[in-house]
């Protein structure tokens, strides 16, 4: 432990006392167990409580990262000090200005990576700066992913009830831990915000519709992760059957999956076509969370929803670098993978009216992004606004990153260094710190902190921001200068609304 890091005071939890570290005025507790190991007989079961302990347990190192196909998304901790992959992964981390009776707002972060990868222990998610800036408590969570978290095992009895959504039940268990323990860390269990980006935003989306999570949180933020529909139960059962085939296990003996080694199970699920993900199982969920309407269960919960302008310049650009060199003549063929070929010419013209200086690659990334990320975010926002309950705020990140000569424009995940006020650790995403990046961090981190505190993102770092409604459609544009625009990109919104398969039901007012 370096000279600038000291031991924190001990905190009593429901299972035993823990002692973390203190650095620059923030107490940090890493690797806190909110559930028992999910290995062996606990694999695929709902989360079980951790065994209590006596004395004090050190909480200075991150816990295990959920099993997954190794990728940069699995890289928690720091170089040379990475947590291992393992099934004892029901761990969370806490950053707090003080373990006292201050009853601070609590910000619980659900990490990205879809439902198959990622960790809450990434350096980018370090909560120190936000905790210090906003006098709030930040919590990040690890939980089961992919086949470990979403393998439907019908017919095996109550012990495995909810196995198709075990990874989500882990998040519920983490929120229950927050409810029962966070007061000892200076937090207010009656003022909890859940937020997440990409897959984390998807987890927030479905939590808004989950009876088992009701009452455990009080605001939500969905960053580039609007999740409207769940995996069909039959499709989920098909994935389990395919997994059993991969492992030469008879389909009549699914319980043998508990005996497969962690590494072999990871490898086998990677060979199955399709993604193990939250399922409309009739146990944890009964119907789609945001289709055809916003969930009535969370009508009283304020929500923020937003995206980055060219999300897919991250994923598609990384998988196929030739995307950055697309010519005007290549646009029809490239875009036909995302939208009907007959629509390409009209959509290109629509985007050019909004962004007349856009290069062919920018037009490509804008349309590809709008077809998925943006359309789903608009639908989610509209449905929440139409519900007439708690307000919903809409935003869009428009700031253009200078890295790689600016070719990624405004990619997926660009919001993360700003929301966490961690620009200094993300030069590969936003470049070296500048006045622009400082302004972005001020605006976004303060908006998120304000929303956690009161359910309203307005603060002195941004102009007045009205909730979204179906008349004005106010959207905050986070850019070099923040500004609110009424119904921005109206023509694009109208053009892409045709791809909503539920439009014919008349549940959303497109106009």
Strand 187-197 to 137-141 pairing: unpaired
In this structure, how many other beta carbons lie within 10 angstroms of the beta carbon of residue 239?
Answer: 23
Using DSSP, state whether 31 is helix, strand or coil.
strand
- Residue 129: which H helix or E strand, with range? helix 128-134
| Cα separations in angstroms, 430 against 113, 358, 406 | 20, 20, 10
Instruction: Return the exposure string of 5-41: e unless at least 16 CB atoms fall within 10 Å of the residue's CB, then b.
Output: eeebebbebebbebbbbbbeebbbbbbbbbbebbeee
- Residue 197: which H helix or E strand, with range? strand 187-197
Instruction: Return the exposure string of 365-389: e unless at least 16 CB atoms fall within 10 Å of the residue's CB, then b.
Output: bbbbbbbbbbbbbbbbbbbbbbeeb
What DSSP line would sit under 440-452, residue for residue? Answer: HHHHHHHHHHHHH
| Cα separations in angstroms, 185 against 276, 294, 365, 424 | 35, 34, 43, 27
Locate 183 and state its tokens: 């007061």
What pairs with residue 6 in β-bridges? 22
| Cα separations in angstroms, 47 against 214, 337, 508 | 17, 40, 37
- Counts of helices then strands in the chain (DSSP H, E): 15, 13
| Nearest-10 crossing angle of helices 166-181, 199-207 | 70
| C-beta separation of 367 from 338 below 8 A | yes
| Cα 357 from chain centre | 32
| C-beta separation of 114 from 277 below 8 A | yes
Handedness of CA 138, 416, 112, 28 (dihedral sign): negative
Any idea which residues carry the catalytic annotation?
198, 311, 412
Give residue for tokens 């424009």. 409
| Residue (of 193, 130, 143) closest to 38 by Cα position | 143
| Cα separations in angstroms, 247 against 41, 263, 404 | 19, 12, 43
Quote the CA–CA distance of 125 and 426 in Å, as a whole number.
Answer: 11
Q: Is the peptide bond prior to 62 cis by the omega test (within 30 degrees of 0)?
A: no
């Amino acid at each position: 432990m370096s000279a600038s890091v000291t031991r924190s005071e001990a905190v009593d939890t429901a299972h035993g006392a823990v002692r973390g570290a203190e650095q620059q005025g923030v107490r940090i507790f890493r690797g806190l167990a909110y559930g028992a190991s999910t290995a062996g007989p606990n694999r695929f079961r709902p989360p079980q409580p951790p065994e209590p302990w006596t004395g004090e347990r050190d909480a200075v190192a991150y816990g295990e990262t959920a099993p997954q196909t190794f990728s940069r998304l699995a890289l928690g901790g720091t170089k040379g000090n990475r947590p291992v992959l393992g099934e004892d992964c029901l761990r969370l981390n806490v950053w707090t200005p003080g373990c006292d009776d201050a009853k601070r707002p609590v910000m619980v972060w659900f990490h990205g990576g879809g439902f198959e990868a990622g960790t809450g222990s990434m350096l980018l998610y370090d909560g120190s700066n936000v905790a210090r800036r906003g006098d709030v408590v930040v919590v990040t969570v690890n939980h089961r992913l992919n086949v470990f978290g979403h393998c439907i095992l019908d017919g095996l009895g109550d012990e495995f009830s909810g196995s198709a959504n075990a990874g989500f039940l882990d998040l519920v268990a983490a929120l229950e831990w927050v409810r029962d323990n966070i007061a000892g860390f200076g937090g207010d269990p009656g003022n909890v915000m859940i937020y997440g980006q990409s897959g984390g935003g998807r987890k927030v989306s479905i939590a808004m519709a989950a009876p088992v999570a009701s009452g455990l949180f009080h605001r939500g933020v969905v960053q580039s992760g609007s999740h409207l529909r769940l995996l069909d139960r039959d499709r989920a059962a098909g994935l389990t059957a395919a997994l059993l085939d991969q492992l030469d296990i008879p389909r009549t003996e699914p319980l043998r999956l508990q005996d497969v080694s962690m590494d072999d199970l990871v490898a086998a699920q990677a060979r199955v076509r399709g993604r193990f993900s939250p399922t409309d199982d009739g146990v944890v969920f009964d119907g789609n969370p945001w289709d055809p309407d916003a969930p009535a269960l969370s009508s009283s919960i304020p929500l923020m929803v937003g995206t980055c302008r060219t999300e897919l310049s991250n994923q598609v650009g990384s998988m196929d670098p030739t995307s950055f060199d697309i010519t005007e003549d290549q646009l029809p063929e490239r875009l036909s993978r995302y939208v009907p070929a007959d629509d390409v010419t009209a959509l290109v013209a629509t985007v050019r009216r909004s962004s007349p200086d856009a290069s062919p690659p920018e037009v490509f990334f804008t349309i590809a992004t709008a077809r998925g990320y943006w359309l789903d975010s608009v639908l989610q926002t509209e449905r929440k606004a139409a519900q007439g309950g708690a307000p919903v705020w809409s935003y869009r990140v428009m700031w253009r990153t200078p890295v790689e000569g600016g070719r990624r424009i405004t990619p997926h995940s660009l919001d993360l260094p700003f929301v966490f006020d961690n620009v200094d650790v993300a030069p590969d995403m936003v470049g070296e710190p500048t006045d622009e990046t400082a302004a972005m961090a001020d605006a976004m981190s303060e908006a998120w902190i304000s929303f956690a505190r009161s359910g309203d993102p307005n603060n002195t770092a941004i102009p007045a921001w009205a909730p979204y409604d179906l008349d004005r459609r106010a959207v905050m544009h986070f850019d070099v200068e923040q500004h609110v625009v009424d119904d921005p990109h109206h023509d694009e919104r109208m053009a892409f609304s045709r791809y909503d398969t539920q439009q014919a039901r008349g549940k959303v007012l497109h106009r």
